[in-house]
Amino acid sequence: MNRFAELLDRLAYEPGRNNKLRLLTAYFRETEDPDRGYALAALTDALSFKHAKPGLIRDLIADRTDPVLFALSYDYVGDLSETVALMWPSSPLLPLSPPQPLGGGGRSGGEGSGVGGVSTHATASEFAEAPPTPDPSPPLASLAGGGGKARASRVEKKGHNNPPPPTLAEVVTTLRTLGKTELPKQLTRWLDELDETGRWALLKLVTGAMRIGISARLAKTAAAALGEKDPHDVELMWPGLAPPYLDLFAWLEGRAEQPVNLDPTPFRPVMLAHAIEDADFANLDACDFIAEWKWDGIRVQAVSGRDADGQMQARLYSRSGEDITKSFPDLLPSLHLQESSSLKHDVSRKPLHTFRHHASFAIDGELLVLREGRVQPFNVLQQRLNRKVVSPKLAKEYPIHLRAYDLLGEGDDDLRTLPFAERRQRLEAFVTRLDDPKVDLSPVIPFDSWDALTAARADPAGAGAGEDAEAVEGVMLKRRDALYLPGRPKGQWWKWKRDPHLIDAVLMYAQRGHGKRSSYYSDYTFGVWTTDDGGEQLVPVGKAYFGFTDEELLQIDRFVRRNTTEKFGPVRHVVHAPDRGLVLEVAFEGLARSPRHKSGVAMRFPRINRLRWDKPPREADRLETLERMLKTEVSDQPPLVSGH
* Whole-number Å distance between alpha carbons of 549 and 526: 18
Q: Which of 294, 388, 497, 598 is catalytic?
A: 294
DSSP letter string over 512-573?
E-SGGGTTSEEEEEEEEEEEETTEEEEEEEEEE--SS-HHHHHHHHHHHHHSEEEEETTEEE
Residues 6+ apart with CB under 8 A from 277: none
Cβ atoms within 10 Å, residue 631: 11
Per-residue CA distances from 445 to 295, 375, 405, 632 (Å): 13, 17, 13, 25
Local structure of 143: helix, strand or coil: coil
Report CA torsion sign: 611, 613, 615, 620.
positive
Pairing of strands 607-612, 583-588: antiparallel
Local structure of 54: helix, strand or coil: helix
Q: Which of 618, 504, 427, 564 is nearest to 131 (CA)?
A: 564
Per-residue CA distances from 345 to 176, 263, 399 (Å): 21, 12, 27
Local structure of 498: helix, strand or coil: coil
Which residues share a beta bridge with 538?
A: 529
* Whole-number Å distance between alpha carbons of 533 and 439: 52
Residue 398 · residue 369 · CB < 8 Å = yes
Local structure of 502: helix, strand or coil: strand
Local structure of 194: helix, strand or coil: coil
Per-residue CA distances from 469 to 460, 494, 610 (Å): 5, 20, 29
Residue 419 · residue 483 · CB < 8 Å = yes
Confirm whether 598 is a catalytic residue. no
Per-residue CA distances from 249 to 7, 230, 364, 412 (Å): 19, 14, 30, 27
Per-residue CA distances from 185 to 93, 163, 179 (Å): 14, 16, 11
Residue 237 · residue 258 · CB < 8 Å = yes
Q: Which of 15, 17, 20, 5 is nearest to 136 (CA)?
A: 15
Residue 304 · residue 360 · CB < 8 Å = yes
Active site residues: 294
